[in-house]
Structure 1
Amino acid sequence: MSILQGLLGLAFFIGVAWLLSEQRDRVQVRWIIAGLGIQWSLALLLLKVPLIQGLFVPLSDGVNALQAATAAGTHFVFGYLTGEATPFDILHPEHSFIFAFQVLPLVLVVSALSALLFHWRILPPIIHGFSWLLRRSFGIGGALGFSTAANVFVGMVEAPLLIRPYLAHLSRGELFAVMVAGMATVAGTVMVFYASILGEIIPNAMG
């Protein structure tokens, strides 16, 4: 039943996108089929192939190590505000969670790490690889492919800035796709944040 629900959801959103399109006759079915095929293939690889699943275990371990290092540094600066033992009694412990000191530091660390990896020219080749795959799979332009691939690493605000010189030359459809890609993907900073929250409940939350 859940599989049928997922298929109906995909069909519904594709239908809504087609109905809202200004040029329905220019919609190419082969790109839709290609997108669905890639999505299902990735899902099968991630859920059914133990070797692929095993690749995400070190990623989860890396996230846990990054979280622990960030927590240690934050505690050194802000003390008990980070959730550690307090020098006084707390009447309502359930209200002791402070978002600014227990969540945002991890987001800032990952953002700074992404910027550093960009400066060291480590992330650009990876993004170019994803961009090439998107261009070959869906026939989109280089600027759109690069921005979409960068969303995974730097987020929806920074990714369009990477193609700022080309924004004025994008078509309406490409500009809309840039915005949709930002809304539909999760940046690495937010992914690490979610993994840190779910890590206590779901083993290997990053995978």
Structure 2
Amino acid sequence: MELNDLRKELIYYKNYAELLRSKTHEYSNKLNVLSGMLQLKHYDDAIEFIDRESKGHQHIIGNLVRSIQNSLVASLLLAKYNKAAEIGIKYELDDDNILQDYSKLVSEKLATILGNLIDNAILAAWNNRQNVPPAVHVYVSDRSQHVILEVQDTGAGVASELADNILDFGVTSKAEQEQTGVGLYLVNELVKQFRGSIDWERTEDNATLFSIYLDKSEIKRYEAESHYHDY
């Protein structure tokens, strides 16, 4: 139990630290760009740059404020937007997103699931950028009796020889220097705790789509059991 508690805290602080790191790095770069434009007296370019950046952030933040009541998940989604934007990957949040707030325990796990899926998607899209403009699309919904998490990317997809074992510990489709094989394994282990399911497919648009389905009744069961064990 102590190890589990420590892991939960590490996940929480890792997500929070990534948000801070991403924001700091992003604004440092953009302030340098803006400073250069002003020093060169490219005032019209500076105004256009500020306007463009403001609109991009306002669209994402507006989407999160309207649709995601869960502050931890919203922070995670914003952090991943910043991460994708830093390397020129188009990052889209579905206009039909909706997610209510859950307990800290459940929220941490949802954020961890999404974080790992999005990290994999960003890397896959980036590695395939020579063939397709890199893009990541995220859909989150608990409108029905299920919590649905979907992450789609423009990567090359999962190699056929790995398809049957991609969720196993140590199995990865990443390049050797990037290899860990832990992300999808961790996602699968968390999904199992909610007795949910994880599926992936290659879409008609040649994109890779990972989908998570969690029954709300199972989420309540997990919360009740966790609360019981705490006592």
TM range (shorter): under 0.3
Higher relative helix content = 1
Bigger relative contact order, structure 1 or 2, given CA contacts below 8 A and separation 6+?
1
Higher relative strand content = 2
Larger radius of gyration: 1
- TM-score, normalisation: structure 1: 0.26
- TM-score, normalisation: structure 2: 0.24
